[in-house]
Amino acid sequence: MRVNRSRVWLRLASALAPALLFVTACGQGDVSPQNTANSAPSHGTSTGAAPSKGVASIAASASQFTWIGEPGAGSAPWVNAIDRARQRVDYNVYLLTDENVANALKQAAARGVAVRVILDSHPYDFPDAVSKELAMFRGSKVQVKTWSPSATSYDHAKYLVVDGHLAIVGSANATYSALDGGANLEDNVEVDGGAIPADLAALFQADWSGRPRPSLPPALIVSPGSAAALAEQIRQPGPVMMAEEELYDAPDVMAAMEAKGRHLELLLPSSIDSEEMANARMLASHGVQVRLLASPYVHAKLIVGTEAAFVGSENISANSLDDNREVGLVVTQPLVRAEAQAWFAQYWQKAKPLASASGTSGSTGGTSSSTDGSYPYLPLGISESEARAKWGPPSSISSTTYHGKPETVWVYPNGARVYFQDGKLVHVSR
C-alpha cells in the first residue's frame, strides 16, 4: 500500500468492518538459529527468560513462534491454521481473493465453526474487489463485514486468530500474488499459545462490534499512532535490516533511519516513484545502504536487528502510521530473528545498489525498465498520449475516484497500473 500525507494514495501489489488493528509480540526462546531462509517453518519454544533492556523489553510471552516467509510457504500456513479451528476463526485482511484461503474459511463455517471476516470497504487499486469478495462467500455461513476508518484511510491490517489461541500476523494479503503465486516478498509470524492471540481476538471483537480499541500490550504495534514504536525498533542496538514497500513522509521513522546510517540495510522495490527515490537518496547520503529489488515485488514490512524483529502491515507513510488501521508484532525469539535475517539476506544479495539500480529507472526514480526496454521510466505529469508512446496500449482501462476526483487506470501485461487525473500521469504502481 502506497500512501503519503498530501496525497493519501493506496498502492498494493497483491490484488485483493469498525476500526481494525492487528499486532502481536513474542518472548525469547532458547533455540539455535537456522541458516536457510526458505526452509520449512520451524518453531521455537519460549522459556520465559527476562528480555534485555531496549526494544526487547516489550516482548510478551507465548509458547511457539514460526517464521513464515514468502515466496515459499504459500497459503498452507493460513489454511492449516483454519483447519485446526474448533470454535472460532476471526480474520482481518485488506484483500481476500485467494481461493485456498476462502475455501478453508467456508469449510470451517460449514462444520460449525464461527467464522468472521473484516475486509477493507474501499481498497483503492481494486474498485470491484469488495463485490467479488462478498460474492465469494455468498451462500456460505461465513460472516463478512467491510470497514475503513474514513474515506481517506484504510483497514490495512492482516491478521488471523483461531480459537483465541493461534494467530498469524504479517504483511501478506490473502491473494494469489502474495501466497501461492510467489510474486511477492512477504513476512509473517505465527504465534501459538500465550496471551497475544487472545489480545488480538479482543481487538477483533471490539472492531467487529464498533467499540473502542481495548488495552493492548506494547508488543502489539497498532495504527493509528504507531510511528514512535516503529522508530524505536529501528533504534535497537547494532545493525538493522529493513524490507519496505514504501518510503514516504513519516518524520519519526525517517529520522531514526537517517540516524542509523551505515548500520541500516534498506531493501525497496525497484518500482519506487520519484518521491520515494528522493527519500532513498537522502538516506543514502547519510550512509544508509539502499538496494532495489525487481522481483519478487517487495511487499514486506520488516525491521529486524540484534534484539527484535517487527513484522506487520505498517508501511513507511504518514497515512499508514497515523490514519489507517494497521497491526504489527514485535518478536524477540532468537530463531525467528535468525530466520528473518537469513530470508532478508537472500534477497539483499539479488538486489541492486541504489546508485546502479536507479540508473535503470530514470534520474528521478519511477518504474524500472524491463530487460527489453519496453517499459521505460514514465515521468509524472506526462499526457496519456505520451505514456502510450512509451509503453504502448494497455491491456485494459478502468476508472476509479480518489477524494471524489475521477482517475483513469491503465493496466499493462507486466502487472503495472498507470493512473491519470485530467489526462496527466499521477502515479505508476507495480
**What local confidence, expressed as pLDDT, does residue 19 receive?**
32
Mean pLDDT of 132-146: 96
How confident is the model over 32-51, as pLDDT tens digits? 233 333 333 333 333 333 33
Confidence of residue 391 (pLDDT cuts 50, 70, 90): confident
How far is it, in rounded angstroms, from Cα 335 to Cα 146?
A: 36
Sign of CA dihedral 164, 169, 172, 173: positive
| Residue 426: per-residue pLDDT | 84
What does the pLDDT average to over 66-72? 97
Burial tier of 215 (Cβ tally within 10 Å: 0-12, 13-18, 19+): exposed
d(CA 245, CA 248) in angstroms, rounded, equals: 10
Mean pLDDT of 139-168: 95
According to DSSP, residue 58 is labeled G
Quick one: what percent of the chain has pLDDT higher than 70? 80
Compute the distance between CA of residue 233 and CA of residue 256 in angstroms, rounded to an integer.
9
Average pLDDT over residues 393-414: 82
Contact 391, 374 (CB under 8 A): yes
Phi, psi of 178 (to 5 degrees): -80, -30
The pLDDT of residue 404? 64
Question: What contacts 112, CB < 8 A, 6 or more positions away?
Answer: none
Is 357 strand, coil or helix? Answer: helix
**pLDDT value of position 124:** 76
- Are 302 and 160 in contact, with CB atoms under 8 Å apart? no
* pLDDT reading at 26 higher than 50: no
pLDDT (mean) for 183-204: 96
Residues 6+ apart with CB under 8 A from 364: 274, 277, 278, 379
Q: Which residues contact 16 (CB under 8 A, 6 or more apart)?
A: 94, 95, 96, 97, 119, 123, 126, 129, 132, 133, 173, 175
Query: Which three cell numbers, joined as nine digits, stand for 415?
Result: 502487472
| Residue 314 pLDDT | 98
Residue partners of 223: CB distance under 8 A and separation at least 6:
21, 314, 320, 321, 322, 323, 324, 325, 326, 327
Least Cα distance to 24 among 337, 326, 341, 335 occurs for 326
Looking at the predicted structure, is the pLDDT value of residue 282 above 60? Answer: yes
pLDDT for 363 equals 35
Task: Of 58-62, 255-259, 260-264, give the lowest mean pLDDT range.
Answer: 58-62
Least confident of 48-57, 81-90, 298-307: 48-57
Burial bucket for residue 33 (CB in 10 Å: 0-12, 13-18, 19+): middle
